[in-house]
């Protein structure tokens, strides 16, 4: 019984011992289970078996197609002659493993410098034969861009297209590295082998340009000229846009042309006017520098700034000179009417005549006739001194309207009206009785229209000849005048109104 029991126990032990001894013999030339060398699972393999497996190695190459899908191609190891140059690093691992523990899974991962051999020219040829390098298969990448303006829709950002053009140098490096590491596959997209668009939707310069274009074309500016309106919107603005790569700007000359078109349409300076006189007859006024005069240069700059900000709204242009009304007549219903033939003036306020008076105008016999035309009061000044070549004369109320031609009191005169101006007139100014000058001074302001005209048939009755009454020269001498014309009321020198004899034309 004891023998039988011993036999029953001893047989399994002996079997296990034999298995263990067999394992020791096997793993003397094979790698232990759980052994990975250079990313290859070599469990239970001998070095010759590993070399055979290396010979059966194949690399999957994953390529991107133009439509964004992927395809796979293979490069077999046999076709490129892949093998180990030396197995010495493998033998070192084999000899160094603890084969006595062959029955325990090792879970070891080795990296060696075991040199692999492959025919590099053949591999490069195989790489060049990939579909990704075939002309009919390639689609170049396309940059993101801003599509042309479409009326009613505006501009549109168009996304970039990745395409599938491979960079040959990067592809060669990626495939060779995969082969040398015995990788099962190489994803050319993940490896960064494709040429990429230079401009994407995330490009800051592109986004800023698009935002600027949106500012331009989403802006609606309504110019107001009294009851008249001129609307500036995208359909006009888009023609001014200049695109240079990812930069957008406005063509200043085209903007200026638009502003000039508004000036030509709505300015009234130097325009002919029909004037209904206080005598019931109509005269044509075709001289003088009164009226709306747009500042084309400044308005162009301010319009561009408004468009750059994307600021919509109503706008009144910048003017060099304004008038009383945008309606016709532009001089409104408050003005000074001067009949040079009758030597008589009228002052109107809100359509009502509040004052009329005789006056003495320029001495026609000496070539100092007061010019006809329509003007605006340049400024007004109390207690001015009018300087002549040989004398200076103070006046209490000075109201120039045509350069140095103006209205003022003339206390040295005892008579006004009639034909005095023909032989004993002024140097061009309108000489007024003191009380009349004082009253007019209280009504007029800078810009008040002054309308001078001749009206045949309203000649005054001849007055008895009167003594010559000296009247001062009205061109102030430098440094002696209290205030220079054009500056007393805050006007810059460049804005001074020129004499009618040589009027300054508005900017074309």
Taking only the tens place, the pLDDT of each residue in 493-508 is: 222 333 333 334 333 3
Q: Which residue did the predictor score with more confidence, 433 or 11?
A: 433
Q: β-pairing, 335-339 with 313-315?
A: unpaired
Q: Which residue did the predictor score with more confidence, 154 or 14?
A: 154
Query: What is the rounded average pLDDT of the residues 265-286?
Result: 96
Position 25 confidence tier, pLDDT thresholds 50, 70, 90: low
Q: In angstroms, rounded to a whole number, what is the distance separating the alpha carbons of residues 92 and 80?
A: 27
User: Could you write out the DSSP letters of every residue in 413-428?
Assistant: -S--STTHHHHH-BSS
Q: β-pairing, 344-349 with 335-339?
A: antiparallel
Determine the pLDDT at residue 34: 78
Q: In angstroms, rounded to a whole number, what is the distance separating the alpha carbons of residues 48 and 469?
A: 137
Q: pLDDT, tens digit, for every residue of 410-456?
A: 999 999 999 999 999 998 999 999 999 999 999 999 999 999 999 99
Record the tokens describing residue 70, joined without a space.
């992927």
pLDDT at 234 over 60: yes
Determine the pLDDT at residue 127: 95
Same fold? 205-267+293-315, 333-495? no
pLDDT at 469 over 60: no
Position 391 confidence tier, pLDDT thresholds 50, 70, 90: low
Give the residue extent of every domain in the chain.
48-85+117-201, 205-267+293-315, 333-495
Determine the pLDDT at residue 463: 56
Position 10 confidence tier, pLDDT thresholds 50, 70, 90: low
Most confident of 14-23, 75-84, 109-118, 439-448: 439-448
* SS3 state at 287: coil
pLDDT at 389 over 80: no
Residue 231's Cβ-side half-sphere holds a number of Cα atoms within 13 Å equal to 6
Query: What is the rounded average pLDDT of the residues 288-305?
Result: 97
Most confident of 22-31, 231-240, 498-507: 231-240
Full 3-state SS string of 183-241: CCEEECCCCCCECCCCCCCCCHHHHHHHHHHHHHHHCCEEEEECCEEEEECHHHHHHHE
Position 489 confidence tier, pLDDT thresholds 50, 70, 90: very low
- 333-495: in CATH 3.20.20.70: no
Q: In angstroms, rounded to a whole number, what is the distance separating the alpha carbons of residues 343 and 423?
A: 14
Average model confidence (pLDDT) across the chain: 85
Q: β-pairing, 405-409 with 430-432?
A: parallel
> Chain-centre distance of CA 457, in angstroms?
62
What are the backbone angles phi and psi of residue 495, rounded to the nearest 5°?
-100, 5
472 Cβ partners below 8 Å, 6+ apart?
386, 387, 388, 391, 392, 393, 427
Q: pLDDT, tens digit, for every residue of 336-364?
A: 999 999 999 999 999 999 999 999 999 98
Q: Looking at 282-391, which runs of residues are DSSP E strands? A: 282-285, 293-294, 313-315, 319-321, 335-339, 344-349, 352-358, 373-376, 381-387
Query: What is the rounded average pLDDT of the residues 39-67?
Result: 83
Determine the pLDDT at residue 8: 55
Determine the pLDDT at residue 102: 73
Q: Which CATH number fits domain 205-267+293-315: 3.10.20.800, 3.40.50.10680, 1.10.260.40, 3.90.1150.150?
A: 3.10.20.800
pLDDT at 379 over 70: yes
Full 3-state SS string of 460-489: CCCCCCCCCCCCCCCCCCCCCCCCCCCCCC
- Cα four-point dihedral sign 327, 328, 334, 336: positive
Does residue 133 have a cis bond before it (omega within 30 degrees)?
Answer: no
Position 69 confidence tier, pLDDT thresholds 50, 70, 90: very high
Determine the pLDDT at residue 467: 53
pLDDT at 96 over 80: no
Percent of the residues in the chain that have a pLDDT greater than 90, as a whole number: 64
């Amino acid at each position: 019984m004891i023998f039988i029991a011993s036999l029953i126990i001893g047989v399994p032990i002996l079997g296990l011992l034999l298995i263990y001894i067999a394992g020791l013999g096997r793993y003397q030339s094979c790698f232990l289970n759980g052994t990975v060398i250079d990313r290859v699972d070599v469990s239970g393999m001998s070095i010759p078996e590993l070399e055979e497996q290396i010979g059966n190695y194949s690399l999957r190459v994953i390529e991107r197609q133009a439509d964004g899908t992927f395809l796979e191609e293979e490069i077999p190891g046999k076709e490129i002659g892949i093998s180990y140059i030396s197995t010495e690093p493998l033998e070192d691992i084999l000899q160094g493993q603890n084969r006595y523990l062959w029955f325990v899974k090792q879970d070891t991962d080795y990296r060696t410098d075991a040199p692999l051999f492959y025919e590099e020219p053949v591999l490069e040829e195989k790489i060049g034969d990939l579909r990704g390098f075939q002309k009919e298969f390639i689609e170049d990448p396309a940059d993101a861009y801003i599509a042309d303006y479409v009326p009613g829709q505006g501009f549109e950002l168009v996304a970039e297209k990745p395409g599938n053009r491979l960079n040959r140098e990067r592809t060669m490096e990626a495939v060779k590295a995969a082969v040398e590491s015995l990788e099962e596959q190489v994803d050319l997209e993940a490896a960064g082998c494709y040429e990429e668009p230079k401009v994407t939707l995330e490009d800051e310069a592109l986004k800023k340009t698009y935002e600027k274009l949106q500012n331009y074309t989403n802006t609606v500016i309504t110019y107001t000229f009294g009851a008249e309106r001129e609307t500036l919107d995208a359909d006009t603005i888009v023609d001014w846009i200049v695109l240079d790569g990812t930069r957008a700007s406005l063509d200043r000359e085209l903007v200026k042309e638009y502003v000039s078109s508004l000036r030509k349409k709505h300015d009234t300076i130097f325009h002919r006017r029909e004037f209904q006189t206080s005598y019931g007859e109509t005269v044509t006024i075709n001289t003088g520098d009164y009226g709306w005069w747009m500042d084309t240069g400044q308005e162009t700059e301010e319009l561009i700034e408004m468009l750059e900000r994307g600021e919509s709204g109503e706008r009144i242009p910048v003017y060099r000179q304004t008038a009383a009304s945008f309606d016709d007549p532009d001089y409104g219903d408050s003005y000074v009417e001067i009949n040079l033939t009758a030597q008589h003036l009228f002052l109107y306020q809100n359509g009502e005549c509040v004052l009329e008076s005789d006056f003495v105008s320029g001495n026609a016999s000496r070539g100092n006739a007061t010019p006809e035309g329509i003007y605006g009061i340049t400024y007004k000044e109390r207690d001015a001194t009018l300087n002549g070549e040989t004398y200076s004369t103070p006046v209490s109320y000075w109201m120039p309207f045509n350069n140095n031609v103006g209205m003022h009191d003339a206390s040295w005169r005892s008579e006004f009206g009639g034909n005095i101006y023909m032989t004993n007139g002024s140097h061009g100014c309108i000489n007024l009785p003191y009380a009349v000058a004082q009253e007019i001074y209280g009504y007029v302001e800078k810009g008040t229209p002054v309308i001078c005209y001749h009206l045949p048939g309203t000649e005054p009755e001849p007055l008895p000849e009167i003594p010559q009454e000296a009247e001062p020269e009205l061109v102030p001498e430098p440094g002696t005048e209290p205030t220079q014309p054009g500056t007393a009321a805050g006007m810059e020198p460049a804005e001074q109104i020129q004499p009618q004899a040589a009027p300054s034309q508005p900017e074309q």
